[in-house]
Chain A
Amino acid sequence: MTLRLTNTAKTYPDGTKALLSTELSVAKGEIVSLLGPSGCGKTTLLRIIAGLEKPDASSEIWFDDDNVTTLPVERRQVGMVFQSYALFPNMSVRANIGYGLKMQRLSKPEIDARVTEVLEMCQLQPFAGRAITALSGGQRQRVALARAIAPRPRLLLLDEPLSALDASLRETLRDELAILLRKFDITAIFVTHDQDEAMAIADRVAVMSHGRVVQSGTPEDLYRNPTSAFVAGFVGNAMTLRGRVKGSTLHLDGGVLPLPKDGTGQTVFVRAEDVRIVEDGPLRGKVETVTFLGTHYRIGLSGITAEGLASIHSGQTAPKVGTTVHVAVEPAALMLLPEEAGAA
C-alpha cells in the first residue's frame, strides 16, 4: 500500500502546534523511519496516520486511492506497535495475537492457523499459552509485533518499539526487527529518536524537527548530504567549525582550513571521524580528554574552535592529555550549510 499525506497538521486543544503542515509519501513495501528528538511530533504524526488523533481541517490522508482522513481507527486496517506495547493483560499470548483476527470475524480454525503461522514467524511458539505478565521485555515486544501483523494490516506503524528495553537487548532486537519487517514485506513507518536504530531498520529516513519533516532520504544520503545544520547535527553528530569564512578559506582560532568551494554566508560542519590527528596539519589544538573506546579513541580538542572539537583516532596509541597536536581535515569532508536561525 502507498501512503500519502498532504497538508497534514495537528494543533492540540491546548494550542500546542505539535505538527505543522506536512507532506509525506511512503511507497508500497517501503520502510520509513521518522527520526527526531523527543517532542518533535513523531508520535503525533504516527497517531494521525493510525486514526488515533484527529488532524486539523484541510489535512488529507490517502491509503492508495482511499481518502481515510475521517475513517475511524478501527476501520483503517493499520497495525500498530505501541511504545508500551499495550498488550491485553486479560488475554494469553495466543489470544492477544488472535484478537485482530477475531474482530475480522474469521472462523476459529482460520484464526488458529493464522496465529500459529505468526507465532512461528516471530519465534514465539514456546510462549503461546503464557500470560502477558509472564513474559520478558523482549518477548513482549515480539508479541506486540506479532499481534499487529497477524490481521495483515495495510500499513504497520511502530512507535519507538525498542525504547522500553535495556540497551544491550535493544541492539540485538534492532537487527531482528529489521529482518522481520523485511520478511513481512509490508509498508511500515517506524518512529525513533535513535539515529542508529533508524539507519539499521529503515529504507528511508524522514528527519523531523519542531513539528515538521526537515529532510527525507536514504540513510547514506542524509549522512553525506544534509541540507540543514539540524540534520547534519542530528544524523551523525556533525560539529560546527565556527570561524570567519573568507572566500574559500575558513579562519579558525587554531589555523586556516581550505574549503571545497566559496563558503560566503555559510556555516561549516565536520564529523569527528573526519578530524584527523596527523604529524603536520594546518590546525593546532590542545588535547583535553582521551577516551578509549576499544576500536578507537575519542579525543577532545580545544583551541581550534570556541565550542571544542572531537576527533576519532584509530592509532595504537593516543596523544597525552595536555599536549599540542596538529590536525587536518580533507576539504571534501567539510559540509557547508546555510545559516539557520534557532536550529537545535
Chain B
Amino acid sequence: MSNRTFIMACLAPLLVFSLAFLALPLVRLFLASGEGDAGWAIYLDILRKPRYLNTLILTVLVSLATTFAALAVSTTAGMFLVRNRFRGRGTLLSVLTLPLAFPGVVVGFLIILLGGRQGLVNQLTPNHVVFAYSALGLFLGYLYFSIPRVLLTVMAAAEKLDPSLEEAARTMGASPYRVVVDVILPGLMPSLIASGAIAFATAMGAFGTAFTLATDIDVIPMVIYTEFTLSANIAMAAALSIVLGIITWILLLIARSLSGSTVAAGG
C-alpha cells in the first residue's frame, strides 16, 4: 500500500543519518581499538596495566560515592518536596533542577569557585583548604550534576506512591521509621535503582567536569582524552571508550527498564 511506502519514507532520513554517523563510526572505533601493537589483547591490558586498572578503580569508587550521596540527598529532598506544600517550594525545586542544563565544564568551574585556590572555602578558613582538584572536588562536581537527575526521577515516582498505603501502615501501628522502611522505600525502589544507575553512568562518563578539575588525578574519560591527544595511542583510547560506552549503556538500559524514562546523560 502507498501508505506503507510513506511510513517507510519517513524513517529513511533517520536510517541514513544513524547509519552514517552512528553505526559506521562505532564500528570504525571498535576496529581501531584492535589496530594497536597489542592487537585485541589491548582489552586485557586495561586490566593488566596498573595505570589503567588504578584509574578504572578510582573512577568506579568516585562514581559509587557520588551515586550513594546523590541518592541520599535527592530522596530526602524529593520526598520532602512531594509531601509538603509551602511558599517557596517552587523556588526550591527550580534551584534543585538548575544544573540540568549546565555543561560539565561549568560545573567544574563552580567547584573551583567553592574549593579552588581563590575559592570561598579557602577564603573563609585560615589554613588554606583547597580541595577542588582532588578526588573530593571531583566527587562534589559529580554530585552537583547528579542531584537534579536523581531528584526528578525520585519525585516522579514518589508522586505515584499511594498515600493510603502509608495510612494503612499507620493504622496498623507502624512508627514513622517503620513506614519509611516498609512502605516508602520499597515503593521507591525501582526508581532508586534506576536513578542510581543514571547517576553512576553519568559520573563514569563525565568528561567536562573532569577536564576542569582532574589536573592531579586520573579518571577514565581523562585517560581516554590524554591517550588520544597527547600519546596518540589511538587504539587504547578507542578500547577504553568502548569499555566505558558498554558499561554506561548497560547501566542506562537497566535504568530505563525500571523507570521508563531517561534524564540526559553528559556532564
Direct A–B contact in complex, judged by CB atoms less than 8 Å apart? yes
Cβ of A140 < 8 Å from any Cβ of B?
Answer: no
Q: Which residues of B contact A72 (CB under 8 A)?
A: 1-3
Residues 40-54 (chain A) with a chain B CB within 8 angstroms? 54
Taken residue by residue from 70 to 81, chain A's Cβ proximity to chain B (1 for < 8 Å, 0 otherwise) reads as 001000000000
Q: Which residue of B lies closest to A54 (CB)?
A: B1
Q: How far is the CB of B220 from chain A (nearest CB, A)?
A: 48
User: Least Cβ distance of B5 to chain A in Å?
Assistant: 11
Question: How big is chain B's contact interface, by range?
Answer: under 10
Kindly list chain B residues whose C-beta atoms are within 8 Å of the C-beta of A54.
1
Chain A residues with CB under 8 A of B3: 72
Q: How far is the CA of A72 from the CA of B1 in the complex (A)?
A: 8
The proximity string for B residues 157-178 relative to A, scoring 1 for CB distances below 8 Å and 0 otherwise, is 0000000000000000000000
Please, how many angstroms separate the alpha-carbon atoms of A54 and B1 in the complex? 9
Count of chain A residues near B, Cβ 8 A: 2
Q: How far is the CA of A72 from the CA of B2 in the complex (A)?
A: 8
A54 to B2 Cα, complex, angstroms? 12
Query: A88 to chain B: closest CB distance in Å?
Result: 18
CB proximity of A80 to chain B, nearest CB, Å? 16
Q: How far, in angstroms, from A246 to B108 measured CA to CA in the complex?
A: 99
**For chain B residues 1-34, which have a beta carbon within 8 Å of chain A?**
1-3
On chain A, the residues within 8 Å of B2 by CB distance are 72
Q: Nearest CB to that of B2 among chain A residues?
A: A72
How far does the Cβ of B145 sit from chain A's closest Cβ, in whole Å? 38
A54–B3 alpha-carbon span in the complex (Å): 12
A267 vs chain B, min Cβ distance (A): 46
Min CB distance A140 to B, Å, is 26
For B1, the chain A residues whose CB sits under 8 A away are: 54, 72
Alpha-carbon distance A72/B3, docked complex (angstroms): 9
Q: Give Cα distance in the complex from A253 to B3, angstroms.
A: 62
Q: How far is the CA of A42 from the CA of B234 in the complex (A)?
A: 65
Q: How distant is B122 from chain A, measured CB to nearest CB, in Å?
A: 58
Kindly provide the distance from the CB of B101 to the nearest chain A CB, expressed in whole angstroms. 30
CB distance from A23 to the nearest CB of B (A): 25
* Nearest opposing residue in chain B for A51, CB measure: B1
A72–B4 alpha-carbon span in the complex (Å): 12
Interface positions, chain A 48-63, Cβ under 8 Å from B, are 54
* CB of A57 to closest CB in B, whole Å: 15
Bound Cα distance from A151 to B3, whole angstroms:
22
Q: For residue B18, give the distance in angstroms from its CB to the closest CB of chain A.
A: 28
Expressed in whole angstroms, the Cα–Cα distance for A14 and B1 within the complex equals 18
How far does the Cβ of A206 sit from chain B's closest Cβ, in whole Å? 27
Query: A72-105: which have CB < 8 Å to B?
Result: 72
Return B17 CB to nearest CB of chain A, in Å: 28
CA distance A92 to B53 in the complex (A): 64
**Complex CA–CA separation, A234 to B3 (angstroms):** 38
Q: How long is the Cα–Cα vector from A293 to B3 in the complex, in angstroms? A: 52
**Bound: A54/B4 CA distance, A:** 12
B79 to chain A, nearest CB (A): 35
Complexed CA–CA distance, A190 and B260 (Å): 42
A100 to B3, CA, bound (A): 18
How far apart are the CA atoms of A125 and B81 in the complex, in Å?
48
Q: Mark A130-173, 1 if CB is under 8 A from B, else 0.
A: 00000000000000000000000000000000000000000000
Nearest A residue to B3, CB-CB: A72
Shortest C-beta distance, A64 to chain B (Å), equals: 24
Interface residue ranges of B204-235 to A (CB < 8 Å): none
CA A154 to CA B266, docked complex, whole Å: 58
How near does chain A come to B1, taking the closest CB pair, in angstroms? 7
A59 to chain B, nearest CB (A): 15
Report A56 CB to chain B, min CB distance, Å.
Answer: 15
Q: Mark B68-92, 1 if CB is under 8 A from A, else 0.
A: 0000000000000000000000000
Q: Which chain B residues have a beta carbon within 8 Å of chain A's beta carbons?
A: 1-3
A-B contacts, 4 listed (Cβ < 8 Å)? A54-B1, A72-B1, A72-B2, A72-B3
A-side interface residues toward B, CB under 8 Å?
54, 72
Chain A to chain B: the 4 pairs with minimum beta-carbon distance, closest first: A72-B2, A54-B1, A72-B1, A72-B3
